[in-house]
Structure 1
């Protein structure tokens, strides 16, 4: 297996794309595009990507805009789901692969669902790892409150950019967020999710703008329209008791015409961290079916 990374320009943003390519195995001809979740990066897919590549699949795992080593949007910019969809479309144009399997975790699953619904002719298979959208937010009742929260958050953005005191602080904070994940895995993920800035200070790699409240309510009804437009075989993977599920999960799954649900009881929400072997095995079975 060969591994490298490269920058690809997508809609004016440089995206860092981690590539895992089969070396000794017979190439399958299928390219698997892995989309990470919120405050994560493409690099943390490595323990899932490697067995996929060893099985003969080309694997691409981009750092989405504002995450990992990809560009931040800069002054006056913000992050919307449509931006991520546009970036995925640009990546598909750039790599010109004929057979694409799209895999998304959490936020990345939402992006993958939007892509598969909007571009059904460009996707061959879809896998969603607890990625069925977020909680419904009715614009009529929450729109004003969300906008006010966003304005407050934007006023505090300077304070959210403080550096980390040490690498140990990063590990401790990540461990508090994911208490069920072994310390060694947390430590290795912390190395992938932090960066040293030009002044030598350690920071989270993601853009602090991601920690602000989005001013745009999430409409489950609109999202279900995208799910109904998905025509390819779809796999939904849940992580058991420690997972994160939307209350109307069954309704959303029912919108997808050809979907299989697999539960990994002990994997939790961060299943690609906690149970990468089980996730990879699940994906390999799906891709081979």
Structure 2
């Protein structure tokens, strides 16, 4: 383990107060900022002479910033790191300049699953004050659910809905035969899944767009779309056109994933404006994984 001279959390990173003293085992000095930086220049100023930083997913940490921080040797991402391409940190630049970047995964999946299950039940029952999705009040066991992607959070959603009796299908760029066999999920080509499923949940990686006008035409009426990704999974004009159809509903937990905020003006669009995965339990798991990363540095 390398001893860090100065660690700066350049923004709020969901690090619990009771865990902050644990960082003293790895760092001589620790600084936490509790506000978001307003510019790249402010990020550089906050980093200053630090040799390590904590970041979240809301600000790009590109080569323009990293090049201004010659002391920096370690970046701890206090958020999911799925791939180099989808990361808000320029990992290629960091690697070329000897900066270690660590991220975490699989800490908020349970909350995402509960969010989808909760709102699916409300729509199926009409408990939100609107006509039930399928006409009559229906149990989850009466619904066909299609997942876009089958990563960790999608599998958590699938388990929750399957447990309640839903008919679970999925579309992914690569099939998961071992998951199909073990869990009983069915792979479907995208057109068939969109046409047949009542509830469609996108758990795609950041910056992946899958739904355009053709796909929304396949979906048609009487459908619910969930997006739990950190970016829109659709073309903006295409979803606006789809939401004009009868009995169509769109749920998204974060503003980052919502799309244009004008969607909030529609009564069939619901956004809680915070990550469904950031429960107290998820934050505890996040903290543990971040501490394990810095201990291994």
TM-score (structure 1 length as normaliser):
0.34
Structure of higher RCO (CA pairs closer than 8 Å, 6+ residues apart): 1
Larger Rg: 2
| Higher helix proportion | 1
